[in-house]
A and B are shown apart, each in its own frame.
Chain A
């Protein structure tokens, strides 16, 4: 019996080692692909043609939809910032999702809103109808929709039904977009109008940045290590990881904080699934599935240039809630669309992206949490020697740290958004520290999220306290 246990432990240790090598190597591959893409884009930046797009009557029009729940603190500034984005034909729509605070009131006051008896076209099925639709008295292209609380996804669906433009852009009420962000993220639709059906822009952490009039004017690192580590994590996973997936034409996730969809396609696929907590990823997967099942040529692209800045959780409590939600969302998406797994009908999505996400995103929390204890147990039971443990540390943590550093190097070469040397060194320190408690904690929260998905508990988004983007000082989020 003992020999069987030892044999299993021995095998598990090696499996863990191989797993870490495989996941880190796959990330290294994605980072290299992303770096190549960034290099290409850097060369084309000088002739991107934004000025031309601004005056081109064939540039698609965009409705920016912002769901707002208890966003009284910063909603006015956020709307003003959205309305001042550089874009030729733009409509901004705020869907006030049954806020308990005075979100609607501050909007009414700031924009002189008047009630308009607008007819809501049917398209995507929604849970609740609008209670009222408002527009500014001066005719500016803003629409404010008031409705009972029914969640973010349902609010966005209602917004999509009311939208009048060619494309819809989903943003969070606390998203801060660079002034050219919309021009950049719509660019793939201009350059490849026949095939592009959705694009996602990169999302970065706003914590620590200086924000004036709804724009990031100075980028900086936040104060706490939780937020600092997320800066590095967002760089590695969101910027480089997604750029790599996009290069492979297998992008499965577009952040809800900054995603653009063709309105007709969005309506065709039925909009966001309000019953799924990972609704952003679910929508992208559903678009892939729909397009492939209907034999349509399409492309979903990630654009690394535009930036949407968003508050990241600064406390462990809020971060835990977010990561449980993400893990649960991923589990739900993989389960709902399990028919795509290893199915040649779905091309590289089914044969490559889906298995990768199952193995390395869904599976990562298990290995992150169990890996180190198992190796330690092996050491105690003398199943593994110290050399193996050392090798494990290099594969799991040394390689991980190297990947984060590589991400920082690519960021520095391509975008160099963080101007201070101090910020740079802080980011390096965060990349190191991440390996020794953050990853394991995120793994535990991930397991909790998966467990919640298995038990089918009702999904709860949780509230976030916004400080509001009105002060000219570095943003530190309190929750």
Chain B
């Protein structure tokens, strides 16, 4: 077989060129990165202590802050990532001082403009900065980003709105959890949880949404906020919503509210006729309610053939204090009982008591 010499030369040349180019790229990348790191470290060296003084509110005369506010562009470029990283982690006077530093260098203005940038990473960084700086007045500007085509931008916007704790953002966050480009449920829920009680009206309204995702989300968050006034709505969903996920969320929320009046509904939800997920949450909820009725029901559930559920019931009893402990001890006393159910309950009770004895009651 004959291969033209030109093909061989072309192949060798291409391979050699690419190998050399790749090698050069590696070396050049490393050299320039190390150089940049050294330069940044040299600039940061004297500035970092000043920044830490500001962040620790250890700058009574405001001298460090003034010096940092007067930095040139290159020094600020080195310090900005550190300052922006810090501002989201501190509160009170330190946050205000750092925010004024960042404002002084025009970064807030940049963030405002960058919200409309064509580059997703800039939109996200801008949203992050606005959230960290606590610019509540800019919350409405973040709302459109909840529908951004890029997931990371939507997530950052939701987080920022949560940090701002703006009640006006509650409806937007709830709606953003569904649709073609949704905010991940856990992220939206956490942001709503951070807003807290002011988000309750919007969340309560969402309990009657036609979209089951929203009903479920709202129930989850209301339970965690502790919105006692929504118990009635939650009770209805727990008993009759056609979607299992909503019933699970509603039962979980009722448990978190801890209202003794709903024990009957929770006992019903833990019944064997229901799906395992619902029963599991109902057991948790019964443990949170902690009434004698709930303890009795948990005692019976320890004998359930679903061993995971039984273990959970026993663990919840162990957390109930004397009331639960009495039920557990009663179950262990039935050790020699002939029925397999009693034996199962006794085994689960012994395990829960043993774990409780070493402080492991969270299982």
- Where the two chains meet, the residues of A that have a C-beta atom closer than 8 Å to any C-beta of B are 10, 13-14, 43-44, 46-47, 49, 51-52, 56-59, 114-123, 135-139, 141, 164, 190-194, 383-385, 387-388, 390-391, 394-395, 398-399, 401-402, 405-406, 408-409, 412-413, 416, 421, 424, 428
What are the residues of chain A within 8 A of B310 when measuring CB–CB?
Answer: 119
Q: Are B29 and A191 in contact (CB under 8 A)?
A: no
Residues of B in contact with A (beta carbons under 8 Å apart) = 1-3, 5, 7-8, 11-12, 15, 18-19, 22-23, 25-26, 29-30, 33, 81, 88-89, 120-121, 124-125, 128, 151-152, 155-156, 159, 184-187, 189-190, 193, 220, 224, 306-308, 310-311, 347-348, 350-351, 354-355, 358-360, 362-363
- Contact for B1 among A116, A384, A424, CB less than 8 A: A384
Chain A residues contacting B358 (CB-CB under 8 Å) are 114, 116, 135-139
Q: Which residues of B contact A57 (CB under 8 A)?
A: 190, 193, 224
Are A391 and B22 touching (Cβ within 8 A)? no
B308 touches A191 (CB 8 A): no
Given contacts A52-B190, A390-B8, A394-B11, contact A46 B1 (CB under 8 A): no
A399 pairs with B15, CB closer than 8 A: yes
Measured in the bound complex, the distance between the Cα atoms of B17 and A434 in whole Å is 20
Q: Which residues of B contact A46 (CB under 8 A)?
A: 81, 125, 128
Residues of A within 8 A of B23 (CB): 405, 428
Find out whether the CB atom of A416 lies under 8 angstroms from the CB atom of B184.
no
26 sampled A-B residue pairs with Cβ under 8 A: A52-B159, A56-B187, A57-B190, A58-B190, A114-B354, A116-B351, A116-B358, A118-B311, A119-B347, A119-B348, A119-B351, A120-B307, A138-B358, A164-B363, A190-B184, A191-B155, A191-B184, A387-B8, A390-B12, A391-B11, A394-B15, A405-B23, A409-B26, A412-B30, A416-B30, A428-B23
- Other A-B pairs, 11, CB within 8 Å; known A123-B308, A424-B30: A43-B121, A44-B121, A47-B128, A56-B187, A59-B186, A117-B351, A139-B358, A384-B1, A391-B3, A398-B19, A406-B22
User: Which secondary structure dominates chain B's binding surface?
Assistant: helix
| Across-interface contacts of B159 in A (CB, < 8 A) | 49, 52
Q: B30 contacts A421, CB within 8 Å?
A: yes
CB distance from A268 to the nearest CB of B (A): 12
Pair A116/B355 contact, Cβ less than 8 Å: yes
Once bound together, how far apart are the Cα atoms of A115 and B354, in whole Å? Answer: 8
In contact, B1 and A47 (Cβ under 8 angstroms)? no
Give the CA-CA distance A42 to B77 in the complex, in Å.
Answer: 18
Q: Measured between alpha carbons, how far is A251 from B22 in the docked complex, in Å?
A: 27
- Assembled-state Cα–Cα distance A194/B120 (Å): 23
Choose one: B11, B26, B81; the contact of A424 (CB below 8 Å). Answer: B26
- Min CB gap B62→A, angstroms: 28
Which residue of A13, A44, A385, A424 contacts B124 across the interface (Cβ within 8 Å)? A44
Q: Give Cα A192 to B151, complex, Å.
A: 9
- What's the nearest-Cβ distance from chain A to residue B223, in Å? 11
Q: A47-B125, A121-B311 are in contact. Are A405 and B22 (CB under 8 A)?
A: yes
CB neighbours of B354 from chain A (8 A) = 114-117
Known: A121-B307, A139-B359. A383 touches B1 (CB 8 A): yes
A136 to B354, CA, bound (A): 11
Residue numbers in A under 8 Å from B5 (CB-CB)? 387
In the bound complex, residues from chain B placing their C-beta under 8 Å from that of A384 are: 1
Q: Complex: how many Å from CA A116 to CA B315?
A: 13
Question: In the complex, are the beta carbons of B29 and A193 less than 8 A apart?
Answer: no
Q: Report chain B residues within 8 Å CB of A43.
A: 120-121
Interface centre among A47, A57, A119, A387 (most CB of B within 10 A): A47
Q: Which residue of B lies closest to A114 (CB)?
A: B358
Given known A-B contacts A10-B1, A51-B89, A137-B358, A58 and B189 have beta carbons under 8 A apart = yes
* Neighbouring A residues of B18 by C-beta, 8 Å: 402
Question: A119 near B190 (CB under 8 angstroms)?
Answer: no
Interchain CB contact under 8 A, A119 and B311: yes
A139–B5 Cα gap in the complex (Å)? 75
Which residues from A are CB-within-8-Å of B184?
190-193
Most chain B C-beta atoms within 10 Å of own C-beta, residue among A383, A401, A402: A402
* In contact, A409 and B22 (Cβ under 8 angstroms): yes
Given known A57-B224, A117-B347, contact A391–B124 (CB-CB < 8 A): no
Give the complex CA separation of A168 and B213 in angstroms: 26
Whether the Cβ atoms of A44 and B152 lie closer than 8 Å is yes
Which A-chain residue is minimally distant from B85 (CB atoms)? A46
Q: Ordered nearest first, which 9 A-B pairs have the shortest CB separation?
A: A139-B359, A58-B186, A121-B308, A43-B121, A121-B307, A405-B22, A398-B15, A47-B128, A56-B190
Q: How far apart are B334's CB and chain A's nearest CB, in angstroms?
A: 16
CB distance from A381 to the nearest CB of B (A): 12
- Bound complex: CA A141 to CA B5 (Å): 69
Give bound CA distance, A469 to B307, whole Å. Answer: 38
**Is A49 in contact with B156, judged by CB distance below 8 angstroms?**
yes
A49–B151 Cα distance when bound, in Å, is 13
In the assembled complex, the CB of B327 is this many whole angstroms from the nearest CB of chain A, namely 17
Q: How far is the CA of A233 from the CA of B292 in the complex (A)?
A: 62
Question: Are A58 and B11 neighbours in the complex by a CB distance under 8 Å?
Answer: no
Least CB separation from A399: chain B residue: B15
Docked-complex contact A385 and B156, CB < 8 angstroms = no
For residue B180, give the distance in angstroms from its CB to the closest CB of chain A: 13
Residues on B with beta carbons closer than 8 Å to the beta carbon of A424: 26, 30
